[in-house]
Structure 1
Amino acid sequence: MGTLNSEEKNKHVKTIPIMTALLISGFMGMFSETALNMALNDLIKEFGISVSLAQWLTTGYLLVLGILIPVSGLLIKRFPTRTLFITSLSFSIVGLLIAAMSPSFSVLLIGRIVQAIGTALLLPLLFHTVLILFPPWKRGTAMGLVGLVMMFAPATGPAAAGIIIDYFNWHMIFWIIIPFLVFALLFGIAFLPNLSTTSKQRIDVLSIVLSTFGFGGIVFGFSYAGGSEGWSSPVVLTSLAIGLLAMAVYVFRQLTIREPVLNLEVFKHPMFSLGIIVTLFANIIIFSANILLPLYMLAGLGLPASKAGLLLLPGGIVNGIMSMVSGRIFDKSGPRGLVIGGFAISTIAVAFFSTVSSSTNLYLIVFFFMLLMVSMSMVTTPSQTNGINQLSPRLYPDGTAIVNSMIQTSGAIGTAIAISILNISQTNHLSHVANPSGAQNQADALIAGVQNAFTFTIIISIIGLFCSLFIKRILVNR
């Protein structure tokens, strides 16, 4: 597949309107991923469902992303940019309309799945479009904007949703997103051309089936492991076994067929492979913190949901700002100093969180969460951009598909491991107290679990710091 040259042939392309349409769309897709979490309690009461069933509104969304994103590389090769953008926005808007008007839980879940299809198509397309529009020495800044979307939107979701629910109801979470996506769709129709040439690559159905069971099984297995049954659940063990087996066969097939769905040749490039590894560690830290800190503040400290969301909001804001700053620094100086410094800072931040207690000052929590989010923005954007810069244009669709698949998979892994450590630690703590059902003992047990889970992230951060020592800047001709 050929791509238009980003300097000469794309001079006629209006970059700012195109990026505006894509960034708004991506922001709303990621915002929706976490915003509904604040409404789960209301949904449980309104529809008379269990917590585990309600959680499918989030798990199902992530599962669709995990299944479809790996196939996105093939779709980008076969279909025009403009067609994929319109299709993705159409799925998102239709899904939002179904969810906003849903009279039952089953209809709401269908709406979420349809919406997730749109997001799964959009996110790799956003990355791919940046690679086409911007030359390698300008990509850091552009990818910083993408980083703002990927991190800032999920961080603002719960806080904004809490306010929306307080003044309106959970239906409004969906209604309020629709006008933004309609605007982005119209903007994209007006300004987005077909930026890459397509090829009629043969679709290997067996590869797609294997990818679905592989990525889907792993994401579902890790997501389900974070539930009450934990890693011993037959569902978890079966799902992970099927996922890993299907993934192994999938990888073998991609290496042996003439036209692979996902070209694994990308892993022959050492900086791309290292960037993926570093991204995996960073996202495990990010998703672990994003699940542990709200639990600590709500159940450990007894704070109301709206206050907990607002206290964590500054971390999301500085992460978005720092993503853009990191992108500019990357363009000038490369990734090495940023990534090494990021993991060094994150190690300090998670070490603090491993010592939190019921009397920890709230301002210290806000400060160190901001510090953690700054450190992760120093890692993710530079390492991903540097790795993709090592790829040739024909491998861009495969590279972006793998990066986005890794983000979703590592999110499921980080969340599952953090919750598992939390649950095991809670059970162990309560087994040594006289009154396990007491409110204070329950809170103390949760805090002990949070401490131990953050101790795990210290190890991950140190491993990431070691890996970052081997990062080298990919030099490009200007």
Structure 2
Amino acid sequence: MPAASSVPATSGRTPTVIRVLSLATFVVILNETIMVNAIPRLMGDLHVTERSAQWVSTAFMLTMAAVIPATGWFLQRVTTRRAYSIAMGVFLFGTALSAIAPTFAILLVGRVIQAGGTAVMMPLLMTTLMTVVHEHDRGRVMGNVTLAISVAPAMGPVISGLVLQIGSWRWLFVLMLPIAGLVTWLGLRQLENIGEPQTGALDVSSVAFAALGFGSLVYGLSKFSPDDVTAPALTVLAGVALIVIFGVRQVSLQRKGTPLLDLRVLLVGTYAKALTLMAIAFLAMLGSMILLPLYLQNLRGLTPLETGLLIMPGGLAMGLLGPTVGRIFDRFGGRLLVIPGAIGITAALAGFTQISASMPYWQLLALHVLLMISLAASFTPVFTLGLGALPPQLYSHGSSMLGTLQQVAAALGTALVVTVMSARSTSLIEDGADPVSAQLDGMRLAFGVSAALSLLVIVAAVLLPNRSADPHGHGGPDGPDAEPDTSGVDAQSVADGAEAITAQAAIAPQLVKD
């Protein structure tokens, strides 16, 4: 993948390479949630406990967290076609192995291999988009990408519910094989290489520190419970310590070598703000995505398929609204979207604190759709503003940092809401409350914690600039030599531009050294 800005940016249309990568990313991300409903089947067929069966999802998440930090380095060292063929080849092999797995251990290996291929696709898509799409079209194209990557997780439980109604859990992988194979074939037919690979040695110690650090952090967070705090806390602390060592190592390599994950992306103010907003919003979103199915299935008696169908409209609304959000961003900038979106996230989560054993389903559906639409209004501008503020040399590293933090935020959000809910429910039961009322109260408190955290999203949204000044040399929509249009320039635009220029100046000397 390129890191140079010499690659021409297209304007006015979505490049074929982005369409192909979006389709492939949809297919691989679908697998992150497709096993949610298969836990009971795995327990019976492969003779494992529920805790063990949950590892088909946990192992996927851990692998993503461990592999994504290395993708920034990897994408700068191989061509677009090579990265795509490796990612999809690994994914196909993992899918085939999972389909024929004779034991649960082999199934876990297959899921880990699947996740290894999936981990490359998202940074590959984002990095390629930022390279080949003109700055003034990025909102629109990022919106189209959002349609693919947000609908996939929402469709996973629904598709798995339908398949499991008529067949074995193995069909979840068998049916995926020809689809992924066709997507791979189409991609290799149509993809062209973007830019030239760079040279640079792989720092093995950085790979080890990143994999162990982020893997331990996510694993520890995923194991938190009121009955087991000490061991997960120690695992989290060990992960944090390894991540600190990893960070120190990267700073050292930035001066004299090739970092695995270039931390200079954090010197760009707009990117750092976008990263913070995305992490908190993702944490709040994942918390609600865990709590709502628990509420619908455990307290309202819905089947997994019925639960998936109820929450699917929210995911579809988020995805289908993506292109519209992108066009609004291209025309008016980010503030018109991100600030109302942040407020909508808080309002939806606050609404969920009022759940009861008889709350009408239409109210639940409306709150979930509001949450998903608000997230759509936030994520597309945040991704575009954050990555757009980086110099092209750091696109792949910025994409990798976003992907890594998403996995950490997902694990933290899940651990937080489950721990709060369980602790509150257990306390009430010990005081004599009936289990249903206690669990409801625990869920209300967990939603309240998520709503409180989402207030920080509003603060981060207010601090974000309306636009990132284009640091890539593309100029305005009429080319670099066109006369500038100053009719719409205001103090905020000047401040946004100054921030981006200052950030570029701050990191330019180090980039030249490397």
Q: How high is the TM-score relative to the length of structure 1?
A: 0.94
For the aligned residue pairs, the C-alpha RMSD in angstroms reads 1.6
Partners of 2:23 and 2:463 lie apart in 1 by: 35
Q: Is 1:470 aligned to residue 463 of structure 2?
A: yes
Per-residue deviation, 1:5: 4.2
| 8 Å Cα contact 1:6/1:135 also seen in 2 | no
Q: Match of 1:359, SS? A: coil
Per-residue deviation, 1:155: 1.0
| 8 Å Cα contact 1:30/1:149 also seen in 2 | no
Q: Which residue of 2 aligns with 1:247?
A: 243
Per-residue deviation, 1:18: 2.4
One-letter amino acid matched to 1:136: E
| 8 Å Cα contact 2:5/2:392 also seen in 1 | no
Q: Which residue of 1 aligns with 2:490?
A: none
Q: Which residue of 2 aligns with 1:455?
A: 448
Superposed CA offset, 1:91-128 (max 9, x none): 11111111111122111111111111110111111111
Partners of 1:179 and 1:334 lie apart in 2 by: 41
Partners of 1:141 and 1:239 lie apart in 2 by: 42
Q: Match of 2:137, SS? A: helix
Q: Which residue of 1 aligns with 2:4?
A: 3
One-letter amino acid matched to 2:20: A
Per-residue deviation, 1:233: 3.7
Partners of 2:357 and 2:7 lie apart in 1 by: 54
Partners of 1:181 and 1:87 lie apart in 2 by: 13
Per-residue deviation, 1:323: 2.1
Compared with structure 1, are the counterparts of its residues 275 and 365 closer, same or farther at alpha carbon in structure 2 (3 Å cutoff)?
same
Say which is worse superposed, 53-62 or 21-30, in terms of deviation.
21-30
Q: Which residue of 2 aligns with 1:446?
A: 439
Q: Which residue of 2 aligns with 1:309?
A: 308
Partners of 2:306 and 2:299 lie apart in 1 by: 14
Partners of 1:303 and 1:83 lie apart in 2 by: 45
Say which is worse superposed, 359-368 or 173-182, in terms of deviation.
173-182
| 8 Å Cα contact 2:7/2:194 also seen in 1 | no
One-letter amino acid matched to 1:247: I
Partners of 1:325 and 1:33 lie apart in 2 by: 26
Number of aligned residues: 466
Structure 2: gaps (5+ residues):
477-514
Partners of 1:427 and 1:451 lie apart in 2 by: 14
Q: Which residue of 2 aligns with 1:438?
A: none
Per-residue deviation, 1:228: 6.9
One-letter amino acid matched to 1:351: A
Partners of 1:453 and 1:199 lie apart in 2 by: 47
Q: Percent sequence identity over matched residues?
A: 27
| 8 Å Cα contact 1:343/1:379 also seen in 2 | yes
Q: Is 1:357 aligned to residue 356 of structure 2?
A: yes
1:238 to 225, 234, 238: 234
Compared with structure 1, are the counterparts of its residues 286 and 327 closer, same or farther at alpha carbon in structure 2 (3 Å cutoff)?
same
List structure 1 runs of 4+ shifted beyond 3 angstroms. Answer: 1-8, 14-17, 227-230
Per-residue deviation, 1:229: 4.0
Per-residue deviation, 1:54: 0.6
Partners of 1:305 and 1:209 lie apart in 2 by: 38
| 8 Å Cα contact 2:15/2:133 also seen in 1 | no
| 8 Å Cα contact 2:3/2:76 also seen in 1 | no
One-letter amino acid matched to 2:123: P
Q: How high is the TM-score relative to the length of structure 2?
A: 0.88
Q: Describe how 1:132-147 pairs up with structure 2 within 5 A.
A: 132-147=131-146
| 8 Å Cα contact 1:95/1:115 also seen in 2 | yes
Per-residue deviation, 1:137: 1.3
| 8 Å Cα contact 2:72/2:396 also seen in 1 | yes
Partners of 2:117 and 2:227 lie apart in 1 by: 32
Partners of 1:443 and 1:129 lie apart in 2 by: 49
Q: Which residue of 1 aligns with 2:79?
A: 80
One-letter amino acid matched to 2:142: M
Q: Which residue of 2 aligns with 1:291?
A: 290
